[in-house]
Amino acid sequence: MAGRRLLILGGGFGGLDVVRSVGRSRAARGYWDTLLIDKENFFQFNPLLPAVATGAVETRHIVYPFREMARHRHIRFHKNKVIEIDLDRRRVRLHNNLVEPFDVLVIAVGSETEYYGVPGAIENTRPFKTLVDAMTLRARVVELFEMAEQAESMEQRRRLLSFAIVGGGVTGVEVAAELVEMARETLLPMFPSLHASHLSVTVIESKNRVVANARPEHSDYVRRFLERRGVTLRFGAGATRVEPRCVHLADGSLVEAFTIVWTAGVRPPGLVQTLPMSRVPDGRIKVDEFLRGLDREGRPREDVFVIGDCAAADRGDGTFQPRLAQTAVKMGSYVGKLLVQRATGRPIEPFEYREMGYIISLGKHSSVVELFGIPISGRLGWLLWASAYLIKMVGLRKQLEVGIDHLTHLWFEHDVSQILSRRQILSDEELNLSLGPGASAGEHGTTPDRRRAGLADG
């Protein structure tokens, strides 16, 4: 039995690649006693979450169980939540007060939704980070179409079918594009009394263009694509306050929506933010050229590696690597290789980050891609998007499943089976909403502020 305890926290894009490298090497397996801990029992392929949210890709096809990985890679796995990391005593505390010691620690716990302290944002918006978020949104959209179909007034239909997405980054525009595609191509033809004019989707972005990190011509392409499909884009004024069914913007205007989705940003989990390490202003832990975490004095710790969304690796120009799946994968495979080299006593080169580009999916009609500096958009972009993610899926089974989803989705409609119950997707107030004669879809959610603003429902 190997002696040195290698503890990997988080089996996402970063952690999984550490496991794969270490598990693949016989020498490393003999050297390290590897334990992966994750609060979920599966790896989740985030870039396809927007497609899951509309039924374009099946839920289970984008996840991969850690138990299967552990068996194939000969490592141990615990499904548990890490509550605290004690660097001095080299141990972590888990849910249920369990304690797990380590000799070497890899921190790869990703990020959580950042609300920037906007009042009401946590209570009145829906996050879009997990598989459950995506499944719930999909079921909710279908349920709201069912409710709108039965509602008695045009005003009620419009209110029920109003969606706002706060955050016009990659996730926000992908959710908007998928949502509009599902609504227009699948749902509207299925609901005879509903019409495109009943539907509204608004994307709110504080910067002056959507997907601001992409090249300007791609931002422009995305804007035109969404506007052609009836999405309203609000630029240059971020959300300052969120009430039930209403987002207040910095320029004093309001966006009303029955469903508000928050995709405006991420930050490292609290677990990481409280560690006594050097960090950058957005809370990520600074790492050196070998991805070792830097302590408060800026010295690298030999026993702590930080990778993925919670790490800040200097790109050499004072900026830090973007929080993307491709970065996490590169960091994970680098640290995996480094740990194998440690086991075999061979030297290792410093980590070098080279961005490959980006992919923004706009449903089955189009994608914009930048690959090693070359811009591509339209259907060719979609083909590249679909193939790139297929290659990246974990294992042949998932590649086949997602491949078949892509193909069937080209010819067939979205699957609108709701599966989740109304109680799982609607609030108590929404469950009791009166849609009968004289009632209004938003009457229970109307706040004094909105009444003052002349926005009372009905």
Binding site for ligand FAD (CB under 6 A): 9-15, 37-40, 46-47, 49, 81-82, 108-110, 128-129, 170-171, 269, 271, 308-309, 323-326, 328
Cβ neighbours, 10 Å, residue 102: 22
Alpha carbons within 13 A on the beta-carbon side of 351: 30
Q: How far is the CB of 105 from ligand FAD (least distance, A)?
A: 13
Cβ neighbours, 10 Å, residue 416: 17
Residues whose CB falls within 8 Å of the CB of residue 186, separated by 6 or more in sequence, listed in order: 413, 414, 416
State how far the Cα of 407 lies from the Cα of 52, in Å rounded to an integer. 15
Q: How far is the CB of 410 from ligand FAD (least distance, A)?
A: 20
Q: Which is nearer to ligand FAD, 331 or 425 (CB)?
A: 331
417 exposed, middle or buried (CB, 10 Å; 0-12, 13-18, 19+)?
exposed
Question: What 3-state class would DSSP assign to 200?
Answer: strand
Q: How far is the CB of 173 from ligand FAD (least distance, A)?
A: 11
Q: Which is nearer to ligand FAD, 10 or 442 (CB)?
A: 10
Q: How far is the CB of 18 from ligand FAD (least distance, A)?
A: 9
State how far the Cα of 311 lies from the Cα of 290, in Å rounded to an integer. 12
DSSP per residue, 288-342: -TT-EEEBTTSPEEEEEEE-GGGEEEB-SSS-B----HHHHHHHHHHHHHHHHHH
State how far the Cα of 85 lies from the Cα of 105, in Å rounded to an integer. 10
State how far the Cα of 136 lies from the Cα of 421, in Å rounded to an integer. 10
Q: Which is nearer to ligand FAD, 94 or 455 (CB)?
A: 94
Q: How far is the CB of 322 from ligand FAD (least distance, A)?
A: 8
Q: Which is nearer to ligand FAD, 199 or 324 (CB)?
A: 324
State how far the Cα of 445 lies from the Cα of 428, in Å rounded to an integer. 11
Q: Which is nearer to ligand FAD, 12 or 293 (CB)?
A: 12
The residue nearest ligand FAD at its CB is: 12
Q: Which is nearer to ligand FAD, 268 or 300 (CB)?
A: 268
Q: How far is the CB of 74 from ligand FAD (least distance, A)?
A: 20
Q: How far is the CB of 273 from ligand FAD (least distance, A)?
A: 12
Q: Which is nearer to ligand FAD, 232 or 273 (CB)?
A: 273
User: Which position has the token pair 């422009």?
Assistant: 220
